Homo-oligomer: A and B are copies of this chain.
Amino acid sequence: MKDGRYGEFGGQYSPETLMYALSELETAYREAVKDPTFDAEYRRLLREYAGRPSLLYLAERVSADLNTTVYLKREDLNHTGAHKINNVLGQILLAVRMGKKRVIAETGAGQHGVATATAAALFGLSCDVFMGIEDTRRQSLNVYRMELLGAQVHPVTDGTGTLKDATSEAMREWSRRVEDTFYVIGSVVGPHPYPEIVRDFQRVIGDEIRAEMLRLHGRLPDALFACVGGGSNAMGTFFPFLNDKGVRLIGAEAGGEGIDTDRHAASLTKGTTGVFHGMKSIFLQDEEGQIAPVYSISAGLDYPGIGPEHAHLFRTGRAEYYPVTDEEAVCAFEYLSRTEGIIPAIESAHALALFRRMKDQFSPDQQVVVTLSGRGDKDVEAIGEYRGRFQKEEYHD
């Protein structure tokens, strides 16, 4: 497979303004991975700043309830509360290595923006984050967090005011300031080499799962579940197992209000091949390639495409992907909160919801790992609204 291609997917469909920067990035990255001090510093930051390794948690009450053995990979316990920090620390180290003084990022749920602002603060870089205006409302707490971390948050009013528009705007900004700016992409999307870089920085999730499952059980898990927005936590989870045919790799897409409505973000299930945001992949679009407005209760999954490597795994059948509705995700969100005392990100709740739906495909002696990509504090208020709860007057004294 040629560099940057995953079967027919991937590539580098970028404006010429960015092409030199992309090749510079690729060169810097190839050098960095060969440099042991880079890897050592990245590992040190994961350990001593992000707090890795993250827990592989045996969810006993869920296991008993669903009659399987379920482990949760607790990315929610990372500093800043999601898997996004793994990737950001790697990219920021690259940015520093390349002598950049300024970083930009797009963000959906705000987790990637918070992670980027965090790492930028840690390295004293200036940081601008682009966020759809709709998402700044859905995730206002994260807007505040980024500002506190010293980042400028730019609400993007174009289009649907969500992640795709934030991404477009970040790309525009990068092309304006490509010489002094490093663009920290938040998922396994965009032009090559981003999908590869982000996957490499997220594979620590799957590497840890693998090592821990071997340590605990002397064998690999039977299935891995993860949610897919752009697909970084899923790619990080799946990648180290790609050649282990016995391990089912299962992704949960945002089914929104249902894939028979036009209110969803189930790119693989309902999308077609296209070229957008620098990559060839599978997108929700019309017959002329106009990108469809998408929807999910989860800001982090509210994206009309998916990383090219997932498109390839989907087409080749190596991984499976199914849509999960808002309602199923919210139920799983509540279920895990009450059952294990763990409030998951609404994104991650999609993965758990999918596992709950598919539980009968697994026997009690099989082992399943669900990646909890982040914590749900950021979502609590929105879920309350979705449920029509939290009328303060209801309180009794």
Q: Which residues of A contact B (CB under 8 A)?
A: 48-49, 51, 54-55, 57-58, 61, 74, 77-81, 117-122, 124, 136, 141, 144-145, 147-150, 153-157, 333-334, 337-343, 376-377, 380-381, 383-384, 389-390, 395-397
Contact between B55 and A145 (Cβ–Cβ < 8 Å)? no
A136 contacts which chain B residues (CB < 8 A)? 395
Contact of A48 among B57, B149, B389 (CB under 8 A): B57
Contact between A141 and B380 (Cβ–Cβ < 8 Å)? yes
Q: Which 6 A-B pairs have the closest CB atoms?
A: A118-B341, A121-B341, A122-B341, A144-B380, A150-B338, A148-B337
Contact between A341 and B48 (Cβ–Cβ < 8 Å)? no
Which of A154, A339, A341 has most B Cβ within 10 Å?
A: A341
A79 contacts which chain B residues (CB < 8 A)? 74, 77, 342
Contact between B396 and A338 (Cβ–Cβ < 8 Å)? no
In Å, the complex CA distance between A342 and B51 comes to: 12
Q: Write the nearest CB–CB distance from A202 to chain B, whole angstroms.
A: 19
Contact between A124 and B380 (Cβ–Cβ < 8 Å)? no
Contact between A74 and B51 (Cβ–Cβ < 8 Å)? yes
A333 contacts which chain B residues (CB < 8 A)? 148
Q: Write the nearest CB–CB distance from A342 to chain B, whole angstroms.
A: 7
Which of A153, A337, A389 has most B Cβ within 10 Å?
A: A337
Contact between B121 and A340 (Cβ–Cβ < 8 Å)? yes
Contact between B377 and A145 (Cβ–Cβ < 8 Å)? yes
Contact between B147 and A389 (Cβ–Cβ < 8 Å)? yes
Contact between B377 and A154 (Cβ–Cβ < 8 Å)? no
Contact between B51 and A58 (Cβ–Cβ < 8 Å)? no
In Å, the complex CA distance between A342 and B389 comes to: 32
Contact of A397 among B55, B117, B155, B383 (CB under 8 A): B155
Q: Write the nearest CB–CB distance from A59 to chain B, whole angstroms.
A: 10
Interchain Cβ contacts under 8 Å between A and B, 30 examples: A48-B55, A51-B54, A51-B74, A51-B77, A74-B79, A77-B77, A77-B78, A80-B341, A81-B377, A119-B341, A120-B341, A121-B339, A122-B340, A122-B341, A141-B381, A144-B380, A144-B381, A144-B390, A145-B343, A145-B377, A147-B389, A148-B334, A148-B384, A149-B341, A149-B343, A150-B338, A155-B397, A156-B397, A157-B397, A377-B377
In Å, the complex CA distance between A169 and B57 comes to: 36
A341 contacts which chain B residues (CB < 8 A)? 80, 117-122, 149
In Å, the complex CA distance between A380 and B117 comes to: 15
Contact between A395 and B55 (Cβ–Cβ < 8 Å)? no
Query: Given A145-B380, A334-B148 in contact, is the A124-B61 Cβ separation under 8 Å?
Result: yes
A55 contacts which chain B residues (CB < 8 A)? 48, 51
Contact between B150 and A337 (Cβ–Cβ < 8 Å)? yes
Q: Write the nearest CB–CB distance from A45 to chain B, whole angstroms.
A: 11
A137: nearest residue on chain B (CB-CB)?
A: B392
